[in-house]
Structure 1
């Protein structure tokens, strides 16, 4: 499509993100309310004031550019107490001369209008949305931190109080002699240990060794036991044979 394209008295131009990209949008140009001004709609959120100046700088000297969210392209945000999220922006471009405005309204539809150079580093659109969202909230981080600390202190105090009550119920019987069993298990303090018992326990602990820890050790110990039994059996047979020779063996 070549030449100037107008729809209902509104000029339409094709603007690309970069020259070698497939991302392109239609911008809609019409006369503004102020003299020498131009109203531009259909501007994406990732476009800045410098992008608008880049497109219309060929028409003439620009006095000012004002960007604002489009009133017709918005949806309510799912976040509470937040402003509406917009999908597009509109700009009011004011030229110094009236001839520049007329030249802008006569712009050709497809004349390689680009927002950025090929080597320009562009921030992701998510960063733009995040910055816009954060700017809509007035959050006092210091007050928020104090509120969190106060809540955690009150929570700790409440849990400590509940633990003391549960301990008291676990240790003391009621009027009928019953002890309330709670879900928390409280270990009673250990009984006093005498000095000589403590020494004996430490001595046993020092001399204790861990036997037959591995499976091969268990098998080896069994084989060794069988060998010992066989050797004892052979010794008993030899001893019985000797007693028979000495006529001292009396089985009956």
Structure 2
């Protein structure tokens, strides 16, 4: 029974598989151990007349139903017997010729969605597209000379690659920082030289630019001057302290102050009366 299924699968791969209208089917196998075939649906990339496309005409092959394990390197290797491959690009969905292609951001790198994709393969000569459309024999994705890792092995490789990219090289980082600082110092020196040249020279409206360079250089403080400044700051803070924080303290202080004023007023009255009595005229 198993041998019969293997023969039927091999016969189906050789006989071909029905493809959508306008497409040709290319059978592929992941490895020699696989008996069933997966089919890539290919056609020549064309656009409407008068519409611009980023892909060269008559040299670009459009591919549908590309499995996740089939990378750009795999497609280039599988189709290289048809002709020299110039470029390969995998996408989640086909390009729309009417809409402009969005530029890739250098700050945000969205994670690709795993699944079946479409591909654009550009050959150096138009004959490569015709040879690819005529392929009928199954192509092997993973071979002994070019093994393709899938499953947990590919996940490990991706994790290791992400970790390696996240850890910067100390020497490269130091070189980048030194280069940046040299450029920054050079820029500051140019700005200072330009400011010195422009200082004191009136512009078209007669205004003169004044910079901080015209000020007298500040001498460094001595220890005695620093101590005087600290003592002055301490006195200033002491004056700002709240002597009467609570309301009842403030009320008592005010009452004491009024009592002192009344006492002083009475004393002043007595002193004035005494002075008047002493100044009274006495002829004898």
TM-score by length of 2: 0.38
TM-score, structure 1 as length reference = 0.42
Question: Which has a greater percent of helix?
Answer: 2
Bigger strand share: 1
